[in-house]
Structure formats: structure tokens, C-alpha cells
Structure 1
Amino acid sequence: MALLSHKVGPSSSSVKALAMILCIFLPHIIAARTLSTNGTIPAVFAFGDSTLDTGNNDYITCLLKSNFPPYGRDFMGGKPTGRFSNGRVASDLIAEGFGVKKILPAYLDPNVQLQDLLTGVCFASAGSGYDPLTAESQSVLSLSNQLGLFKEYKGKINAAVGNKRTATLLSESFFIVSIGSNDLALNYFATPLRSAHYDIQAYTDFLIELASNFFQKLYALGARVIGVASLPPIGCVPAERTLGGGMERACYETANQAAILYNSKLSALIDSLNKRLPEALLMYIDIYNPLTSIIQDPAQYGFDVVDKGCCGTGTIEFGPLCNKDTRGTCNDASKYVFWDGLHPTETACKILSSAILKQVNKFF
């Protein structure tokens, strides 16, 4: 009995040995849980709109495409790929920042191989929104469609590597979601389809409800680490300046205030979902302030032009209106914040993607 009741503690030599082991290996254990450029993220997945779309619209029947010059002129090989940029877009740059790969392929690209699937693909579709009416009006992939493709993707991976490895892959991967600008810019402020029935308070509440449903469905399909981009200052993109900024083409502040209102509700939603979903790590990623900083002081970031896009007049052209016959397109897109009437240049995307990665790493 005496032997059973005796408390045996570690010897001083074993304590020293344990301390030495921890000193050697603990930093590596911690590093393995850190989202950084060390390649510990196995895959990156993107959902949303043209800010992330790497070419899915090329493979659906719609008008909103960018698979023609001058789009892609600064991309590898100088080829248009369906990205709404002169080069790479944020989803590519985020995947590269995590050390996964330089290009995040579009899921619908028929040339995608199993290894591409295992390291992540893009489901985003230019012109889409949280509001299904936004996607329907552009004949593009809604978020429901994107989730359907993700389910299809998951079935392919299950067949290739098994359910257990698929679940592990998804739980350790990074999901980036950027969507909502089209709901306001191309739907609410540009048409009466929603504005005739909702004031901006009610419409942003409607969008948040749709966002909540989407994130919960994505979680149910296995996503755990989800970065959610805020809306940018949409009133300051060239096309919105032209349409709502008056003779001076100032930022359209009504649209900016709507984005701020939505962003406050999105941040609260993410806090709520993190409490409700036991294994979730959802992150609110601020895009509004980093882009505002660039717009207010472009010279600090190496830009010369902030109120016009590089393509054509730079005041409104995007998609089919920005083509090889569009006159006036600039020679050096790196001096412009915006490539066309709505979308940032690759140079601006690099700055914004760096800001995204810095915010993400703060969670670990």
C-alpha cells in the first residue's frame, strides 16, 4: 500500500532532458500551426467574384469574360486567361504567399490535373454576389453553383485519396472568400431590382443572412480556416466615380457608406459564427482601409494614377468594353491602381494580397 500511495516525481535529469527537447522542437511545433510562407498550408480554395476568379467564366455561357487582349498582357506568356487583370489576381498571389503555388487554377478548366486539385482551385465567378439575383442577372455562377462545384470536387478527391485524407486536407487548407461588391455596385445602385424593395439597411441585412448561410454550408462541407474579405471602397473605383461622382469624378460616397455599413455587419457575423461553429476559424479581412490608403496617397505606393483604369479612357471600360481595339490603353499598368473600370492592376493586387496575408497571420 505504501508503494501504491507513493508519488513518484520526475528526476532532475529527466526534467532537464525534457526542457532541452522542448527548446529544440517547440518552435517547430508552433511554426507548423502558423499560416505563413513556409508551405504548411496544403491547399488554397477561392470562392466569390472577379476579384478572385481565375477563369471559370471562360467555361460557362455568359457575356462577362476577359479571355481576350489586353487582359493578361502582363501574365506569364502574355496570354489572357479569364482573369480580370493585366496579370495575376489576389487568389493567385495568396496561394503563392502561402508557398502553395504561383497560379490558382480555375476549377472548370479542363486541363486541371489531380495534383492541381490536391493543392487547391478557384470556384469564383466574375459578376457573382451573395444575392442570387446578382449572379442570375449576369448569367454567372452563383454561390450556390460554386458550392455545388465544390461538392463535385470533394467527390473527386474522396475517390482519389479516401474520405479521411480528404477531410484532413480540407480542414488544414485556407479558404478565401471575396464577394459582395457586385451586389451593391451592379445590382442595388445600378438597377431597381432590389432598391425598389429594400432600403440599404434592409438590403445589407439580407446580404448578411445569405452570407451566414453560405459560410455554414461551406463549414458543413469540411472548410475550417476561412478568410472573408470585406467590401472595398467601391465608390472609388473608376466606373463608380464616373457614374456617381459628378463632374469631378469624386468617390461616390453613398456607395462607400453602404460598404462601411455592410462591413460592420460582416465583422459581427464572423464573430458570431466563430462562437457557434466549434472548429471554425473565420477571419474578417479588412480590404476597405488598405485600398483607401492607396487611393488617398498613391505616390507612397508607387502609383501615378488612381481615378482612372489603364484600359481605354479608364473611366468605365471593363469586360467586353476593354478589348484589343479599345483606344488609349496605357503602356505601363504598374503606375495605375486600377486596370479597368472596376478591377485593380496586378501591382495593386500584390499590395492588397500582402495586407491580407499579414492580417491572416495575426490569427496564429
Structure 2
Amino acid sequence: MQPLLSSYSSSSSLTIFLVSLLLVGDHGGARIILPANVTVPAVIAFGDSIMDQGANNNLNTLAKANFAPYGKDSVAGIPTGRFSNNRTPADMLVEQMGIKEFMPAYLDPSLDDKELLTGVSFASAGSGFDPQTPNLLGVLSFADQLDQFKEYIEKLKGIVGEERTQYILTNSLFLVVAGSNDLANTYFTIGIRKLQYDIPSYSNLMVSSASNFIKDIYKLGARRIVVFNAPPVGCLPLQRTLSGNEHRMCAEKHNKAAQLYNNKLQAELKHLHNTLAESKIVNIDIYKPLLAIMKNPKQYGLEVVDRGCCGTGNIEVAILCNRLLPTCLDASKYLFWDSFHPTEKGYNILMNEVVGRHASDWF
């Protein structure tokens, strides 16, 4: 590990430091069959880079993926701002539900009325539940995403009227994905919260912020809300490099913090589900499924799980994963595309696990 890190100049190290604030977070998979009396007109997403469909493309931030080799394996081979070699979980879910093939970013300048009616993503790479997290890279906070959601609602009213808008909000599926940036970066790598909080109290801050956001979108009409917990952040390639030992093993302190947060989040979501009238609030565990994939890669048709396809795979993410670096010959053999984000195949395997276990609880 030391030769790799020492080979970077101080300016490159600063870049690594900044882009390490991004989140971790294939095509095809389980089809979601809705109950006979259930309709889902739209899917609406909030969060960070797992659900960022290009929101950061025009922001003044390093947290971008709108350049090669991102998007390398898409039909047109064109980068869109998605942090993968092709599709994201947001795309997979809307397709699996038969709504549309891709979920657009709300900030996509080509967005039309039809896309608004069937759902958009407000997610911004580098964001988190801790208000300090998005400030570090100048990305959209959850407060910003909430403001955009309010604006979106007014646009819907202008297109289909108030009654139909309320119907869309009540019956849509809302996705909330965040937490990894807070833990892996704001707390551990950057450490700006360590003087104020120990891990238990910081996880309380995260859960409180997540709870408040869910209450906010509930007040605006959301009823079916699916919240993803944190992955084993210590096992992501960049965290292995920065915080693992010389063998790049998983950083167990990071993983224990994620588990503590996940347990508290699950309890809070259960409380919200029981207290917010007519709500369906579901916790989706991605920690255990992702760890299972890492421990048994061959079972899932994978070969490499401790580094990404781009560059060395140990530290490259966002602007460090660029056209000047080599990429692996076959991304389908890799769990990770860059040092933080899964490949399309990795996402597909994970989402098939999630859909298979939880989809019946969403409606």
C-alpha cells in the first residue's frame, strides 16, 4: 500500500482526499410483480451516488462521473453522470417495475412532462444525512433535495392538477439511500466530527437526520418509503486502501460503525412505520447481502471483489477514474467499477437479492 500512496504528489493527495467523499453505493433481473390492487405510477429517489443519475453534472464539484470511462458499457458508450460502467439500482428498479428503462435526474435539462410523471432522482453524489457531508464537496444536501421535491410537486400540479398529483405521490415508491459518505468519509477519513461525537452519538445524529427527512417527505405526500441502510463501508476498495492493513483487509472499525447505525436506523424506521398513518416504511438491508457477495464471489460469477475495474482499482474514483487509465478487460468479473461503486453486474446481483427478499413488503 505504501508505494502506491507515496507515488502521488501532494496535489494528487488532496484530490484523492476530496474525491474520497463519494459514496459507494446489471442489467436484467427479477421482475417485481405488483399485487392486483396495487399501482405504482412513479419511482422517486433521494440520496447520494448510488441513486445519482447525473444531478452533479453541472455542479461545481469534483463528485462527477460524466466522463469516460464511466458509462463504458452502455449501449452508446456515453457517460451520463452515473457512477458505474452502465446502469444504477434506480434504473434497475424502474425497469423491474415496468415503469420505464432509465430513471432520469431531476436536473436533467432534457426532462419532459412524461418523465416527471413517472419519477425522477434528486440524489447527489457525495451527499449524506449529516448536514456537514454535502458541504465538503459542494453537492446537493438533503435540504436541497427536499426543496427540489417541493418544486417538482408544483410542476406535477401544473401538468395534471392537484388531485392527480396527490394520487401520484400517495402511490409512488420513494427510495432513500445515504449514510456511507457520513461514516466512511465525514467521520473516519476526514474526521471533522470526531471531536464532537463518538461513534454511537454520531450514529444518533445520522438516524435523527434520516428520520426528519422521512417525516418531511411524508408531510408532502409520500407514503411508500424504502430506506436502504449502510453497506460494509470498511470493505469498499478505497477504504481497504486507506484504512485497512498492508494486506488491504476490511476496516473493521468502519464496519462496526455501519452495523451500529443500521441497527438504530432499523428501529427508527419501524417506529415511523407504526406512527405515521397510512405509511409503508421499509428498511432494506444491503449490508449482509453485499458482504455475502464479497465472501463468496464465485457463487455469483465474480472473480475480483477487493478492487475496482478502473486503474489499479485500489483508489481511483470520480476524476481519478478517467480515460487516461486502463480499465479491466471484463467488468462483469468485478464487483466494483471504481474504488467505491459497484459495476452494473455488481448492482444487478445486489438488487436481485434485495428485490427477492423485500419487494413483497413495499406495497
Q: Counterpart in 2 of 1:31?
A: 35
**CA distance in 1: counterparts of 2:75 and 2:41, whole angstroms:** 24
Deviation at 1:216, TM superposition (A): 0.1
Q: Counterpart in 1 of 2:94?
A: 95
**CA distance in 1: counterparts of 2:203 and 2:37, whole angstroms:** 35
Deviation at 1:356, TM superposition (A): 2.5
Deviation at 1:359, TM superposition (A): 3.4
Contact 1:97 1:357 in 2 (8 A): no
Q: Which portions of structure 1, spanning 4 or more consecutive aligned residues, are displaced by more than 6 angstroms?
A: none
Q: Of residues 331, 335, 340 in structure 2, which corresponds to 1:337?
A: 335
**CA distance in 1: counterparts of 2:106 and 2:357, whole angstroms:** 27
For 1:314-333, what aligned pairs fall within 5 Å after superposition?
314-326=313-325, 328-333=326-331
Q: Counterpart in 1 of 2:351?
A: 353
Contact 1:71 1:87 in 2 (8 A): yes
Unaligned runs of 5+ in 2: 1-33
SS of 2:144 mapped into structure 1: helix
**CA distance in 1: counterparts of 2:36 and 2:168, whole angstroms:** 15
Deviation at 1:303, TM superposition (A): 0.4
Unaligned runs of 5+ in 1: 1-29, 35-39
Q: Counterpart in 1 of 2:198?
A: 199
SS of 1:76 mapped into structure 2: coil
- Deviations, residues 84-143 of structure 1 (Å, cap 9, x unaligned): 000101111111111111100000001000000000001000000001110011100000
SS of 2:136 mapped into structure 1: helix
Deviation at 1:248, TM superposition (A): 0.5
Q: Which is worse superposed, 337-346 or 354-363?
A: 354-363
| Letter in structure 2 aligned against 1:228 | V
Q: Counterpart in 1 of 2:11?
A: none
**CA distance in 1: counterparts of 2:177 and 2:61, whole angstroms:** 20
**CA distance in 2: counterparts of 1:360 and 1:304, whole angstroms:** 27
**CA distance in 2: counterparts of 1:309 and 1:195, whole angstroms:** 29
Deviation at 1:355, TM superposition (A): 2.2
Q: Counterpart in 1 of 2:295?
A: 296
Q: Counterpart in 2 of 1:61?
A: 60
- Deviations, residues 152-187 of structure 1 (Å, cap 9, x unaligned): 000000011111100001111101111010001111
Q: Counterpart in 1 of 2:28?
A: none
Provide the TM-score with structure 1 as the length reference: 0.89
Aligned pairs, how many? 329
Contact 1:285 1:359 in 2 (8 A): no
Provide the TM-score with structure 2 as the length reference: 0.89
Contact 1:333 1:339 in 2 (8 A): yes
**CA distance in 2: counterparts of 1:187 and 1:140, whole angstroms:** 14
SS of 1:260 mapped into structure 2: helix
For 1:144-159, what aligned pairs fall within 5 Å after superposition?
144-159=143-158
Contact 1:59 1:109 in 2 (8 A): no
| Letter in structure 2 aligned against 1:206 | L
| Letter in structure 2 aligned against 1:340 | D
Instruction: Name the structure, 1 or 2, with higher relative contact order (CA <8 Å, separation 6+).
Output: 2
**CA distance in 1: counterparts of 2:359 and 2:93, whole angstroms:** 12
Overall identity of the aligned pairs, in %: 50
SS of 1:77 mapped into structure 2: coil
